[in-house]
Chains A and B, each alone.
Chain A
């Protein structure tokens, strides 16, 4: 048996569509909880508008936010399954189809000529982060339409190991929050990657944004303590939803660590706006497709 590339294309299309128009249940719940938790009217109004928008987008099948990002996928390929063709080509086709049919905003340009391809593909896009899973008999795909208002607030710094790296991480996040304020569309999720290399550290931070369920802490004791400390510190600043004031600037702070060099340690910080859009499915070797983040999955095709 093997996975048919047509099924990959259909599933990738469905994932982009679901992710763009409907939030994972835990993210929506966290926003609803924040609404209950806020006692200032401006903060409540912002969250009320956000929750109304989420409902409307879902019921009408519209994109939650007009910034549907630059197409990006996390893909994990089980070594116990085969694919009968080129999966990357299927994902490119799915992005073109979704751009036309969801529809998505035509966001992708050549960075130097600024020519817009009109299809959200080209120059290496869609970007697919490939991983392998030696034990799995499925391909797991996650579509991530992430707006660039939050992406553009990513920062990476290098810390000396003569310092307390935890303090450096707190300071880095505070600096970014102080300058970003309401612009990355809070309540945000903050991803922090500590250690590794320049590239893997930022990847850790980005991957951390989609930790599920939202609010789950790291298994690493020190990292979990840092998550709690940074979350409290950031919310204490009183910026609140959209930066107009309130208790909820961040819904979660997720820290991931990786082994690092004995001299210097990279610390990467990235934001996810409240519209934390992603959708995951597993395509099994026998052709079965299981939607993980959106239970209604394939039903409304």
Chain B
């Protein structure tokens, strides 16, 4: 497990050196993006339109919607932490492909499509600790620009200058390793024991679900 201090510009070769479990501190420009922002960005790129935030190309995306306030002619960030990343597996993978995003910061993980896209592009996913918005807000040195306010302030794209944002854990690396996939495998062994203790069967439907009836039917 290594520790890295990364700054702009980020090069593919450098990103390909990161390994699952490494610790990263990042200083430079980040772009926040959530659900509606992803949808608009991908649609624009598919229409061959340029995104107004040019530094996202080979740059850093943060799954985050900060708490902000406009005071004396300036935006101030009060709290800014990660949001659930699995939501962006599909559209986020498109963005990584189209913009060669080098680092994506969030919480939880991104699915298989993102893992393989990161491998191809040379891009990593970094985990931050969920719920720690007050702490991460201290690492933000300023708001450089805000785009797409018509989506609502949480969904807008906040271009931020951060200093030593972290500690971030490499959750998906360019070899296709994913911390959560590894955890899922470990959990599979443990869950056999838990089922046994709790007198549960694997091949049994315990409840109604859409298109399913309980039992072994």
- Chain A residues in contact with chain B, CB under 8 A? 42, 45-46, 49-50, 52-53, 56-57, 60, 62-68, 100, 103-107, 109, 114, 116, 118, 147, 149, 152, 157-160, 163, 167-168, 170-172, 174, 178, 181-183, 185, 229, 233, 236-239, 242-245, 264, 267, 273-275
Contact A168 B207 (CB under 8 A): yes
- Residue of chain B at shortest CB distance from A152: B84
Q: Which residues of A are found within 8 Å of B209, using beta-carbon distances?
A: 157
Contact A181 B108 (CB under 8 A): yes
Give which listed residue, A68, A105, A157, contacts B153 with CB less than 8 A: A105
> What's the Cα separation between A64 and B108 when bound, in Å?
19
> What's the Cα separation between A105 and B138 when bound, in Å?
17
Give which listed residue, B108, B169, B190, B208, contacts A157 with CB less than 8 A: B208
Given contacts A52-B135, A62-B133, 5 further A-B contacts (CB under 8 A): A63-B134, A174-B194, A233-B197, A239-B187, A275-B131
Give which listed residue, B64, B84, B151, contacts A66 with CB less than 8 A: B64
Contact B36 A182 (CB under 8 A): no
CB distance from B13 to the nearest CB of A (A): 28
Contact B109 A104 (CB under 8 A): no
Q: Which residues of B are found within 8 Å of A264, using beta-carbon distances?
A: 208
Q: Taking A62-B79, A182-B109, A238-B190 as contacts, is the C-beta distance between A245 and B183 under 8 angstroms? A: yes
In the complex, number of A-B residue pairs with CB atoms less than 8 Å apart:
185
Q: List 16 A-B contacts (CB under 8 A).
A: A46-B129, A50-B131, A52-B135, A53-B129, A65-B132, A100-B69, A116-B151, A159-B214, A160-B207, A170-B198, A172-B207, A174-B198, A178-B191, A181-B109, A183-B107, A236-B190
- Residue of chain A at shortest CB distance from B135: A53
Contact A105 B154 (CB under 8 A): yes
Contact A273 B187 (CB under 8 A): no
> What's the Cα separation between A107 and B68 when bound, in Å?
12
CB distance from A130 to the nearest CB of B (A): 29
Contact A233 B130 (CB under 8 A): no
- Residue of chain B at shortest CB distance from A63: B79
Contact B137 A64 (CB under 8 A): no
- Chain B residues in contact with chain A, CB under 8 A? 36, 64-69, 78-81, 83-86, 107-109, 127, 129-135, 137-138, 151-155, 167, 169, 179-180, 183-184, 186-187, 190-191, 193-195, 197-200, 206-209, 214
A-B interface, 7 closest residue pairs, ranked by CB to CB distance from nearest: A116-B152, A183-B108, A66-B133, A185-B130, A57-B134, A157-B207, A53-B132
CB distance from B11 to the nearest CB of A (A): 28
> What's the Cα separation between A274 and B131 when bound, in Å?
8
Contact A103 B129 (CB under 8 A): no
Contact A238 B79 (CB under 8 A): no
Contact B83 A67 (CB under 8 A): yes
Interface centre among A60, A116, A236 (most CB of B within 10 A): A116
Contact A66 B66 (CB under 8 A): yes
Q: Which residues of A are found within 8 Å of B83, using beta-carbon distances?
A: 67, 149
Contact B138 A273 (CB under 8 A): no
Contact B190 A237 (CB under 8 A): yes
- Residue of chain B at shortest CB distance from A147: B131
Q: Which residues of B are found within 8 Å of A233, using beta-carbon distances?
A: 194, 197-198
Contact A49 B78 (CB under 8 A): no
Q: Taking A103-B67, A172-B206, A233-B198 as contacts, is the C-beta distance between A273 and B79 under 8 angstroms? A: no
> What's the Cα separation between A236 and B109 when bound, in Å?
21
Give which listed residue, B79, B80, B85, B129, contacts A49 with CB less than 8 A: B129
Q: Taking A107-B154, A168-B206, A237-B191 as contacts, is the C-beta distance between A62 and B107 under 8 angstroms? A: no
CB distance from A171 to the nearest CB of B (A): 5
Contact A182 B108 (CB under 8 A): yes
CB distance from A264 to the nearest CB of B (A): 8
Q: Which residues of B are found within 8 Å of A183, using beta-carbon distances?
A: 84-86, 107-109, 130
> What's the Cα separation between A52 and B132 when bound, in Å?
9
Q: Which residues of B are found within 8 Å of A178, using beta-carbon distances?
A: 187, 191
CB distance from A32 to the nearest CB of B (A): 15
CB distance from A60 to the nearest CB of B (A): 7
Contact B67 A181 (CB under 8 A): no
> What's the Cα separation between A109 and B130 when bound, in Å?
23
> What's the Cα separation between A204 and B135 when bound, in Å?
33
Contact A182 B206 (CB under 8 A): no
Q: Which residues of B are found within 8 Å of A238, using beta-carbon distances?
A: 186-187, 190
Give which listed residue, A66, A103, A244, contacts B81 with CB less than 8 A: A66
Contact B131 A64 (CB under 8 A): yes
> What's the Cα separation between A31 and B183 when bound, in Å?
22
> What's the Cα separation between A163 and B205 when bound, in Å?
11
Give which listed residue, A68, A106, A167, contacts B206 with CB less than 8 A: A167
Contact B67 A109 (CB under 8 A): no
> What's the Cα separation between A239 and B182 when bound, in Å?
11
Q: Which residues of B are found within 8 Å of A229, using beta-carbon distances?
A: 198
Contact A106 B183 (CB under 8 A): no
